[in-house]
Structure 1
Amino acid sequence: MRSRFLVKLGLAAATVFMLMALAVSGYSADKQKIRLASEYPDKHPTIKNGVMPWIEEVSEKTGGNLKIQFFNPNALAPAKEANAALMSGAADMIFTPSQMSARGKFPISSVALLPFMNKTAEAGSRMVWELYEKYPEMQKEFADMKVLWQWVSAPFEVHTTKKDIQTLEDIQGLKLIVWTGDLARMVSALGANPVETTPHDTYLSLQRGMADGVVCPIAPMKAYKISDVTKYHIILGLMTTHFYAGVNLDKWNSLPADMQQVLVDTTGLTMVEVSGKTLDSGAAKDTEWMKEKGHKFTVLSEDERAKWQAKTQPIVDEWVKKMEDQGFSNARQIVEDAYALSAK
């Protein structure tokens, strides 16, 4: 009897100790899991050097009670249906381009795609986050989810197989592969001929001489073997793509308050800058790798870049008019703020 009493006493003491430990740590004992569907694969520099450390940090700061389960592209939900998967709860959280899986849902956010806005991913990422925090119109676009952070892709540059582009005149009449309609309009405005295809088909199209080059970020060039068939690279920052990290609202509301706070405290501007920096550092690393293989990189001078940008100004003006027609009377101010913030 006495031994049984001591066992019970020990168990009670252990339970009290555990509860006290939880109270001291301040973290809920509830076990929670967030299923994250990502547009980037796990080997992408932003995931490897930014997101995975963040996932570990969240786990540590919640005493291991909040686990974020990472899913590669198309593993949890089709990439082009990421927003729908978030809304339905098929995914608890997504990293996705705003204009891919829900085109038309985020009109103001598409300002980040305007030509010659961002020279680096870091500057562009800070810009979109500041816009999001400043403008209720942009916040309203994400009212059906909890946004943890936003960012932009590495800038799209021009990569050619045979022609060393130095000036706007050099690009006239060239056939350049583009992956989106937005890029096609920009390439046309610059005087080149857009050839629309997919990233996966770009290598063969260039190898077979169906195009003179491609407009894309530096980051995916090795993966798609584009660096095998291009030799000349003009760095101009033609455009970027806008991304967001969003959590399903029902999932968010089901999380204990302490876990919500950890997610808020570890994201926001911190992950905005991490996303931009990892994208830029990845591009810099691949640039050096290509230079070692004899590739030539040219950075447009400010005067020359201004000539290129002037050719695409009608696209900016059309965006402003379209937004004004949709009821956004401050569209021009948003654009001016975006360009000014990105230049900081």
Structure 2
Amino acid sequence: MKSTRNLLVGAALSAAIALGVANDAEARTKLKLSHYLPSVHGIHTDFIVPWTEQVSQCSGGEVEFEVFPAGTQLGNVARQQEQVVAGVVDIAHGLHGIPRGRFPRTSLIDMPFLTDDAGAATHALWQLLPDVLAEEYKGLKVLALHAHNGGLLHTSQKKVETMEDMKGLRLRTPSPAVSDMLSFLGATPQGLPPGEVYENLQRGVLDGTVFPWDPVKSFGLNEVLNYHLELGAYTVSFFFVMNERSYARLSPKARACIDQYSGDALIPKFGDWWDAWDKPGREQAIAAGHVITKLSDAERERWREALQPMINAYIQKVKSEGVANAEEIYRLMQKKIAEFKTAR
């Protein structure tokens, strides 16, 4: 009888231990986070990795992360949006313009001469998300929307100073709006992921690219470039989003931790981050003896006036593709950017 009782007690203890292990395993959630940039980029080192650490620490280790940057099986720039919508990854950071056409409202921020300030563009996107842009993020929890500083024109063999110098150049483009801008100026836009630009410049397939300074360094492009025009004529926007089902499966505590370190906590940081990320690329170009030219005020005004018909036509194209209030969204972006600049 005693032996039977001991066996029962032992079995109960074993079951309790097993249940405890199972509960502990269930309490810990590993989330997959993907992005398309190399692991040396500031978005990875200063933004994404610290964000995962903050959320994990806040949750007491309940949430853990596996990050997939460029070069991994989930780091393809063209697949970030579809991966997170499908739940292949739980969280993704990607470009609104690749693949083109998926975020027509949000991508109006990429229009020429709307802003050259990462902080202003980021502020505008975040302010307009709830009432104006939310339709484009169905099935997703938006953790942040942001944009980079004004992009430059970088070329390998030809120095560009005027609109006329753009004629015939084969240039990598990041978004539909920038593609239309380049075409209107006489260049031939080439849609390529950032990671493919180096090889195509090296082979002479491209004459140049439009980028802010930071990816020039991150992707090693100063090795195959010689000329840089500080154009500041456009910006490009990004999403940082989570699958809604993945978010809903988390405990209230874990969801609160994600909320605490996302959204309003992230948005004010992007302007300073981009300033810091841009600086090494420019310094590297100077050290390499490259020619850096600033667009003159008079020439900049020429570009602005010349591109106005393209801007009007692009807004009408977005409108014809189903965004009935495209003009209103564009005006609201102008207003929010002006508010940001006034507040500083």
Same fold (TM over 0.5): yes
How many Å separate the matches in 2 of 1:228 and 1:251? 41
How many Å separate the matches in 2 of 1:212 and 1:104? 26
Which one-letter code corresponds to 1:191 in the other structure?
A: G
**1:264 maps to which residue?**
259
1:89 aligns with 2:87: yes
Contact 1:131 1:138 (8 Å CA) reproduced: yes
**2:8 maps to which residue?**
none
Residues 258 and 196 (structure 1), Cα distance of their counterparts in 2 relative to 1, 3 Å cut: closer
Which one-letter code corresponds to 2:171 in the other structure?
A: I
In the TM superposition, residue 86 of structure 1 has moved relative to its aligned partner by: 1.5
1:125 aligns with 2:122: yes
In the TM superposition, residue 62 of structure 1 has moved relative to its aligned partner by: 1.4
Please, which of 47, 57, 61 is the counterpart of residue 60 of structure 1? 57
Secondary structure in 1 matching 2:334: helix
Tell me the TM-score normalized by structure 2.
Answer: 0.80
How many Å separate the matches in 1 of 2:192 and 2:96? 20
In the TM superposition, residue 316 of structure 1 has moved relative to its aligned partner by: 2.0
In the TM superposition, residue 200 of structure 1 has moved relative to its aligned partner by: 5.1
**1:178 maps to which residue?**
172
How many Å separate the matches in 2 of 1:198 and 1:59? 31
How many Å separate the matches in 1 of 2:73 and 2:150? 27
The structure with the greater share of residues assigned to helix is: 2
Residues 330 and 76 (structure 1), Cα distance of their counterparts in 2 relative to 1, 3 Å cut: closer
Which one-letter code corresponds to 1:85 in the other structure?
A: Q
**1:36 maps to which residue?**
33
Residues 196 and 66 (structure 1), Cα distance of their counterparts in 2 relative to 1, 3 Å cut: closer
In the TM superposition, residue 247 of structure 1 has moved relative to its aligned partner by: 1.0
Please, which of 37, 42, 47 is the counterpart of residue 44 of structure 2? 47
Which one-letter code corresponds to 1:75 in the other structure?
A: Q
1:109 aligns with 2:106: yes
How many Å separate the matches in 1 of 2:82 and 2:191? 26
The count of corresponding residues between Structure 1 and Structure 2 is 312
Please, which of 218, 221, 240 is the counterpart of residue 216 of structure 2? 221
User: Which residues of 2 match residues 61-76 of structure 1 at below 5 A?
Assistant: 61-73=58-70, 74-76=72-74
How many Å separate the matches in 2 of 1:145 and 1:76? 18
1:146 aligns with 2:141: yes
Tell me the TM-score normalized by structure 1.
Answer: 0.80
Cα-to-partner distance string for 1:120-170 (whole Å, 9 max, x where unaligned): 32322222112214xx2411211211111111234331123344433334x
In the TM superposition, residue 187 of structure 1 has moved relative to its aligned partner by: 1.6
In the TM superposition, residue 93 of structure 1 has moved relative to its aligned partner by: 0.9
**2:292 maps to which residue?**
297
Residues 172 and 241 (structure 1), Cα distance of their counterparts in 2 relative to 1, 3 Å cut: closer
How many Å separate the matches in 2 of 1:111 and 1:164? 29
In the TM superposition, residue 211 of structure 1 has moved relative to its aligned partner by: 5.3
In the TM superposition, residue 205 of structure 1 has moved relative to its aligned partner by: 4.8
Residues 246 and 238 (structure 1), Cα distance of their counterparts in 2 relative to 1, 3 Å cut: same
In the TM superposition, residue 65 of structure 1 has moved relative to its aligned partner by: 1.5
Residues 42 and 333 (structure 1), Cα distance of their counterparts in 2 relative to 1, 3 Å cut: same
Contact 1:122 1:275 (8 Å CA) reproduced: yes
Give ranges in structure 1 of 5+ residues lacking alignment: 1-28
Residues 209 and 246 (structure 1), Cα distance of their counterparts in 2 relative to 1, 3 Å cut: closer
How many Å separate the matches in 2 of 1:188 and 1:63? 52
How many Å separate the matches in 2 of 1:263 and 1:179? 33
Give ranges in structure 2 of 5+ residues lacking alignment: 1-25
Cα RMSD between the aligned structures?
Answer: 2.7
The answer to which of 259-268 and 217-226 deviates more is 217-226
Secondary structure in 1 matching 2:270: helix
Secondary structure in 2 matching 1:96: strand
Residues 43 and 316 (structure 1), Cα distance of their counterparts in 2 relative to 1, 3 Å cut: same
Residues 195 and 43 (structure 1), Cα distance of their counterparts in 2 relative to 1, 3 Å cut: closer
The answer to which of 50-59 and 222-231 deviates more is 222-231
**1:319 maps to which residue?**
314
Residues 152 and 299 (structure 1), Cα distance of their counterparts in 2 relative to 1, 3 Å cut: same
Between the aligned residues of both structures, percent identity stands at 27
Cα-to-partner distance string for 1:261-308 (whole Å, 9 max, x where unaligned): 221121113322333432331111210221122223233344432221
In the TM superposition, residue 45 of structure 1 has moved relative to its aligned partner by: 0.9
